[in-house]
Amino acid sequence: MTETWDTIADWYAERVRTGSAMHEFARDVLLNELPSDLQGQRILDLGCGEGLITRALAMRGGSVVGIDPSSRMIDHARATEQTGATGARYAVDDGGSLDTVATSSVEWVTAGLSLNNVPDLAAAIRAVRRVLVPAGHLIFTVPHPCFETPHARWTVGADEPPGRVVGNYFAEGFWRSANPDGARRAGNQHRMLSTYVTSLVEHEFAIESVAEPAPDARVIDEHPMRAGLPPFLLVRGRRS
């Protein structure tokens, strides 16, 4: 069977909800870029999945809408809201168009590990620009473009730290992981790091920060090989 985000949504929701150190680390490094009090702030969470980041933003007081093209993910997000209301709202929508989101309607757009799933990055950044108010912020994480390249693999030598073998860095486009236990079996868009940065610049975002957070102790405990490499790229841009 060819997997999609819809077909792996139940697996993904279960994985996140049973406490995945990597997903919680990715959520927390992104949240650190926002104020701790979001009262009065309107936020779009692009590619919200089952709502891990959306709920956290709502609990900081933000008025948050999470969008995702996978209706199954949105079902999970809404079901969680029924059992423990945070005020987060959800819609099925595509990050490449954001048709359900009004122009100039949010101060913040967050995109946790989702822009790497959107086929047309320029269309997504254009859509983000449209929905942000002037001086609004886009904050996103993506799997680190330099180390999470198509079919990258680990090397483990007796006398050296674990390393990552990467290749085909310049070959941008869709690929699918053969790992039956990984989210990227649903597919992923590989892009160079410079493509993400350039796309923001081309759409008149000022780049306020670029970070490659070192994995925290919980992540290293779960994935010891990852100790020496950053799993994610984290970028904050401000719309002109």
Ligand X SMILES: C[S@@+](CC[C@H](N)C(=O)[O-])C[C@H]1O[C@@H](n2cnc3c(N)ncnc32)[C@H](O)[C@@H]1O
Residue numbers at the binding site for ligand X (CB under 6 A): 5, 16, 23, 26-27, 46-49, 52-53, 68-70, 73, 94-96, 112-114, 117-118, 183
In the complex, what is the shortest distance from the CB of residue 231 to ligand X, in angstroms, rounded to a whole number? 12
Beta bridge partners of residue 111, listed in sequence order: 140
Q: Which is nearer to ligand X, 165 or 174 (CB)?
A: 174
In the complex, what is the shortest distance from the CB of residue 142 to ligand X, in angstroms, rounded to a whole number? 10
In the complex, what is the shortest distance from the CB of residue 232 to ligand X, in angstroms, rounded to a whole number? 11
In the complex, what is the shortest distance from the CB of residue 188 to ligand X, in angstroms, rounded to a whole number? 9
Q: β-strand 42-46 against 106-112: which pairing, if any?
A: parallel
In the complex, what is the shortest distance from the CB of residue 53 to ligand X, in angstroms, rounded to a whole number? 5
Measure the CA–CA gap between 97 and 91, rounded to whole angstroms.
Answer: 13
Residue type at position 76? H
Measure the CA–CA gap between 189 and 54, rounded to whole angstroms.
Answer: 23
Q: Which is nearer to ligand X, 49 or 237 (CB)?
A: 49
Residue 101: name the closest of 128, 120, 121 by CA: 128
Q: Which is nearer to ligand X, 38 or 53 (CB)?
A: 53
Q: What DSSP string runs through 113-128? A: S-GGG-S-HHHHHHHH
Locate all alpha helices (DSSP H) within the chain, ordered by sequence: 9-17, 21-31, 52-59, 71-83, 121-131, 193-202, 217-222
Q: Which is nearer to ligand X, 94 or 165 (CB)?
A: 94
Q: Which is nearer to ligand X, 113 or 139 (CB)?
A: 113
